[in-house]
Chains A and B, each alone.
Chain A
């Protein structure tokens, strides 16, 4: 049986185009005489981040489809059965705090983690919710905003041959058509490594020379293309070199960059620590990437849109499994493996880890044994990167229906993440036609419990 048929990864087929009614940019909003001056300004955008970064890099574990807060970090053991759901809770390192029975290793290191249980958003559709969570902005028809990784790629000065924003294994989030880069130049979009890092033959394709080619010839080809483009654009005021072409060339010709993708270099003991599922090996790859200076890695884990049979999907993995290998146990291994590994290497303090999806799930189970979309309250986990651990921030009400106190919006979360990464949430960027836009919305407030 095709597992996809039984568990569709998404409940709707709505694509990004619903989000963007107008397309790229707003109507021309500037005197065109000003344009080039502005374009130069954009090119030379003040990229000094402005504050001292606590975190040098960020690994975002994206639980695509919307993870159930009631089965992961915000269980309601005392609620009626239809709210409580089929999973039990366990005690954690923090007195009085309980999380999912499927997260025992996470429970044991909760003193290193912070959980926000009072996230709240009005957007219960995948594309909209994803845009809000990944950019801090509610989607609007006039402008697609850039996600965290693209902003970081834009603001941080590039070092090394690896792309600054990498998606493992891909960036098919929130309906699959989001570019990630929003209004920023296309070279800030994430590079998808492709394939499945958990497969033994995993390899990023096209990094090795085609037979008969070598560095000299690739270099020559690159110079020829640049020459052709420059001839074509003579008289136009746009850059002649294609940034993607340059970056591809740099990756291919840097053995150090290529070796980042060789998971086989890791000892078996380390590989096992992350668990054998895709999410685990993706997290291991993410660690190798941030170790080599990549500022932002998105680990995209799909399948969390559990409208039906959440017990099997979240816990067991397949019906009747003796040891659960579902989404949550796999997350438990991957997350704790990553944190332990980073800690042992002395990298935890400079690597921010964020675990989230686009919304939570309905307080009551539906008739198919699943839960539907629920944005009004859900949970997000933060660790490393200067985040003070051992905190539960905010809470939901008795049945996980709404925030009880300390409501936190995705805009606030965005401001928090940017602040930790050393980017002032008020920093102004510009669209290609010169329109100013802050990296986080005007009203966003970084969480003082986290940024201090």
Chain B
């Protein structure tokens, strides 16, 4: 409150002496009152015939709209109080948006002074920096109060208390209440909350944490295998969340093997791991799996989803070449920066040059710009197609500048330079000038991809390394440090910002080696924690107090079903026995994969699963061929075990080990002995075992990684 009163006093005292600057003093009045939001005059088509740029992103256009449009009726220099601008916002005249500026409030006074002084736009000064205090605060309890103070620094040397003109928006309005007049926040709920502060073209996130429990937790004795554990445990301690113990060796083996190879551990691998008494055996296992051919196959699949490798109508050759190229890169451990360069700079016949298919993945130069930025920068430029991004730094120049670079390509079967290609900048109506996002404009007559690739893969690029390590983290831990993984920006901060930065640095220092970061993460105690939640941390889905249980990707589950039943699935015209994760094209026909929810790769595959069809899938498991055909197949694993005259107990044991990487516990053994063993006839025995196998293939422990 005091800052506000003080400023009012300053305004009142200094009124009339210093002229009001349109760009830095009038615009914030509109932003603060909400006039230039997307729901009001900031909409693409304005509102009620009056259009302002979104959050004042384009002061020149706003000036024109206010002073020149409508024959200047919005401004009355002789009688400032009769200006439409004031009459409407103070609701002296009927205003669809209601009463926004109190008659004698600071906002109305500022507008009045600006009009009285001639309603000019002289561009007196520019904002140099904008800071908010506190940037992060750990509050004690619900009901605690946090006062925000915003400071703006201008290039004329002025340092201004910008608090009254800053808009503070909590991401969750039910968790924090903020008085717009005083910028005092009251905490309503526990947890970690984000507040976004907006002033002129700047947006700053503020992190407020209220511990989740009243008493501290002791995490001092928790193992810290590497820097990851330090970051994770620090936040857990702040939040007062206790951690689950380490996963058993068997659980770790299953989790890691699925994550690195997309397969269940074989019986031999289980035996070898159980018998290994070396204290460094987890590390040995990680290294062995990272060096395996199965790793190459599975991570080719993971990256193929990211690149959205998919056949064109009537043309599978390109996708095939792309997939083969990708497999070679993964096998050869091509550094990720070099990998990105090869993709970005590719040209030629897409049937021969695999990475050139990058330019046939989406339609048109604008979509290419969106795809490239989501893929390699983890950033969404899309909003900046129509207006400057309201929550990020991206402008229309960035968006159309990147599109202009890609417009210089012919995107038929052969990717080649087309010097006349261009995109139209919607604001100027002229051809957009190629531009490095947030950086320099390029010679419109040159292929700008080289400059873009060099900028992107520079070790100081703020997006490139973070975008990929965040995705690797998600693949292993079940949730990105930033979610969604293609929306990295200041106003969507990571749960653990310092950890994300450290992982990115570590990745760059180790020559952009994907395996290095996968090793780093899987070596942490964080990765190795049990999925069994404690009562006190059961609701945690983002701070890693216990491992998250994740559904197996459709293709991995399909392969696991084939492996467990011993009956392969036919995928389109692929040879019988082909693994689902090795398919080069998601259009290869397979009802099973559709039911299990494979990604069609038409759009990003990074959304949460398509579990909308839970009931549909369960109906299919009951009555469809996916499980039924293979359980009862006379050449399947169950039939073979029966032919070999194994006892029901042995059969139950064998399937448990293959499916869950462990033998049945004694209560489980008792249960199955009671229900499936010793049944009457041979046929009845077989049916009981089929039903057991069906339930094993359907149960939660089998269809998830945990």
Chain A: residues with CB nearer than 8 A to chain B? 13-18, 20-33, 35-36, 122, 124, 141-143, 163, 171, 177, 179-180, 186-187, 189-192, 194, 205-210, 212-213, 217-218, 220-221, 224-225, 227-229, 231-233, 235-237, 242, 244-245, 247-249, 251-252, 402, 432-433, 435-437
Question: Which residue of A221, A236, A433 is within 8 Å of B532 (Cβ)?
Answer: A236
B538:A237 contact, CB within 8 angstroms: yes
Instruction: Report Cα–Cα, A189/B614, bound state, in Å.
Output: 9
Ranked nearest first, the 10 interchain pairs of A and B with the lowest CB-CB distance are A224-B695, A29-B189, A248-B618, A228-B699, A122-B39, A27-B191, A206-B619, A244-B614, A28-B191, A206-B623
B698:A179 contact, CB within 8 angstroms: no
CB distance from B665 to the nearest CB of A (A): 7
| Chain A residues in 8 Å Cβ range of B611 | 179, 186
* Chain B minimum-CB-distance residue to A243: B614
A15:B619 contact, CB within 8 angstroms: no
* Centre residue among A124, A141, A221, A251 by max chain B CB count within 10 A: A221
| Chain B residues in 8 Å Cβ range of A180 | 612
| Chain A residues in 8 Å Cβ range of B537 | 32
With A29-B190, A225-B695, A225-B698 known as contacts, the answer to whether A235 contacts B532 (CB < 8 A) is yes
Subset of 19 A-B contacts with CB under 8 Å: A15-B603, A21-B484, A23-B479, A24-B608, A29-B172, A29-B190, A30-B191, A35-B538, A124-B44, A142-B171, A180-B612, A221-B694, A225-B695, A225-B698, A228-B700, A231-B667, A236-B532, A247-B618, A252-B622
| Chain B residues in 8 Å Cβ range of A208 | 623
Task: A217-B687, A245-B618 are known; give 17 further A-B pairs, CB within 8 A.
Answer: A27-B193, A28-B190, A28-B192, A29-B172, A35-B538, A122-B43, A187-B615, A192-B612, A210-B628, A213-B623, A229-B700, A242-B700, A244-B615, A247-B615, A247-B618, A435-B189, A437-B174
A13:B623 contact, CB within 8 angstroms: no
| Chain B residues in 8 Å Cβ range of A20 | 484
| Chain B residues in 8 Å Cβ range of A247 | 615, 618
| Chain A residues in 8 Å Cβ range of B151 | none
Instruction: Report Cα–Cα, A237/B535, bound state, in Å.
Output: 8
| Chain B residues in 8 Å Cβ range of A245 | 618, 698
Question: Which residue of A23, A122, A233, A235 is within 8 Å of B483 (Cβ)?
Answer: A23
| Chain B residues in 8 Å Cβ range of A242 | 618, 700
* Chain B minimum-CB-distance residue to A228: B699
CB distance from B633 to the nearest CB of A (A): 12
CB distance from A82 to the nearest CB of B (A): 16
Instruction: Report Cα–Cα, A432/B541, bound state, in Å.
Output: 12
> Contact mask B600-624 → A, CB, 8 Å, 1/0?
0011101110111111111111111
B607:A207 contact, CB within 8 angstroms: no
| Chain A residues in 8 Å Cβ range of B675 | 224
A31:B212 contact, CB within 8 angstroms: yes
| B103 beta carbon closer than 8 Å to chain A | no
| B533 beta carbon closer than 8 Å to chain A | yes
CB distance from A427 to the nearest CB of B (A): 16
With A212-B632, A220-B691, A236-B533 known as contacts, the answer to whether A32 contacts B241 (CB < 8 A) is yes
* Chain B minimum-CB-distance residue to A240: B700
CB distance from A94 to the nearest CB of B (A): 29
Instruction: Report Cα–Cα, A24/B611, bound state, in Å.
Output: 13
Instruction: Report Cα–Cα, A22/B205, bound state, in Å.
Output: 15
Give the secondary structure class of A's interface.
loop
B622:A218 contact, CB within 8 angstroms: yes
| B701 beta carbon closer than 8 Å to chain A | yes
Question: Which residue of A22, A221, A432 is within 8 Å of B695 (Cβ)?
Answer: A221
| B539 beta carbon closer than 8 Å to chain A | yes
A191:B616 contact, CB within 8 angstroms: yes
B213:A33 contact, CB within 8 angstroms: yes
| Chain A residues in 8 Å Cβ range of B241 | 32
| Chain B residues in 8 Å Cβ range of A24 | 541, 608
Instruction: Report Cα–Cα, A17/B189, bound state, in Å.
Output: 26
* Chain A minimum-CB-distance residue to B485: A17
| Residues 484-517 (chain B) with a chain A CB within 8 angstroms | 484, 487, 492
| Chain A residues in 8 Å Cβ range of B335 | none
B620:A205 contact, CB within 8 angstroms: yes
CB distance from A239 to the nearest CB of B (A): 11
Interface size class of B (residues with CB under 8 A): 35 or more
| B671 beta carbon closer than 8 Å to chain A | yes
* Chain B minimum-CB-distance residue to A211: B628
| B696 beta carbon closer than 8 Å to chain A | yes
| Chain B residues in 8 Å Cβ range of A186 | 611, 614
Instruction: Report Cα–Cα, A435/B175, bound state, in Å.
Output: 9
Number of CB contacts from chain A to chain B under 8 A: 195
| B645 beta carbon closer than 8 Å to chain A | no
| B421 beta carbon closer than 8 Å to chain A | no
Instruction: Report Cα–Cα, A194/B615, bound state, in Å.
Output: 12
| B225 beta carbon closer than 8 Å to chain A | no
| Chain A residues in 8 Å Cβ range of B450 | none
Instruction: Report Cα–Cα, A237/B539, bound state, in Å.
Output: 11
CB distance from A61 to the nearest CB of B (A): 20
* Chain A minimum-CB-distance residue to B239: A28
| B573 beta carbon closer than 8 Å to chain A | no
Instruction: Report Cα–Cα, A18/B695, bound state, in Å.
Output: 37
CB distance from B367 to the nearest CB of A (A): 8
CB distance from A204 to the nearest CB of B (A): 8
* Centre residue among A14, A143, A210, A252 by max chain B CB count within 10 A: A210
Question: Which residue of A26, A187, A224 is within 8 Å of B191 (Cβ)?
Answer: A26
| B542 beta carbon closer than 8 Å to chain A | yes
| B625 beta carbon closer than 8 Å to chain A | yes
| Chain B residues in 8 Å Cβ range of A225 | 695, 698-699
Question: Which residue of A141, A212, A248 is within 8 Å of B171 (Cβ)?
Answer: A141
| B120 beta carbon closer than 8 Å to chain A | no
Instruction: Report Cα–Cα, A242/B688, bound state, in Å.
Output: 21
| Chain A residues in 8 Å Cβ range of B190 | 28-31
Question: Which residue of B539, B632, B671, B695 is within 8 Å of A28 (Cβ)?
Answer: B539
* Centre residue among B38, B604, B623, B696 by max chain A CB count within 10 A: B623
| B104 beta carbon closer than 8 Å to chain A | no
CB distance from B548 to the nearest CB of A (A): 12
* Centre residue among B174, B193, B533 by max chain A CB count within 10 A: B174
Instruction: Report Cα–Cα, A25/B479, bound state, in Å.
Output: 13
Question: Which residue of A179, A228, A235 is within 8 Å of B701 (Cβ)?
Answer: A228
| Chain A residues in 8 Å Cβ range of B608 | 23-24
| Chain A residues in 8 Å Cβ range of B692 | 224
| Chain A residues in 8 Å Cβ range of B140 | none
Question: Which residue of A163, A171, A177 is within 8 Å of B607 (Cβ)?
Answer: A177
B484:A17 contact, CB within 8 angstroms: yes
Instruction: Report Cα–Cα, A229/B611, bound state, in Å.
Output: 19
B624:A210 contact, CB within 8 angstroms: yes
CB distance from B490 to the nearest CB of A (A): 13
| B218 beta carbon closer than 8 Å to chain A | no
Instruction: Report Cα–Cα, A208/B619, bound state, in Å.
Output: 9
CB distance from A369 to the nearest CB of B (A): 20
B193:A206 contact, CB within 8 angstroms: no
| Chain A residues in 8 Å Cβ range of B538 | 32, 35, 236-237
B212:A252 contact, CB within 8 angstroms: no
| Chain B residues in 8 Å Cβ range of A207 | 619, 623
Question: Which residue of A17, A27, A32, A187 is within 8 Å of B192 (Cβ)?
Answer: A27
B623:A221 contact, CB within 8 angstroms: no
| B536 beta carbon closer than 8 Å to chain A | yes
CB distance from B623 to the nearest CB of A (A): 4
| Residues 35-91 (chain B) with a chain A CB within 8 angstroms | 38-40, 43-44, 48
B604:A231 contact, CB within 8 angstroms: no
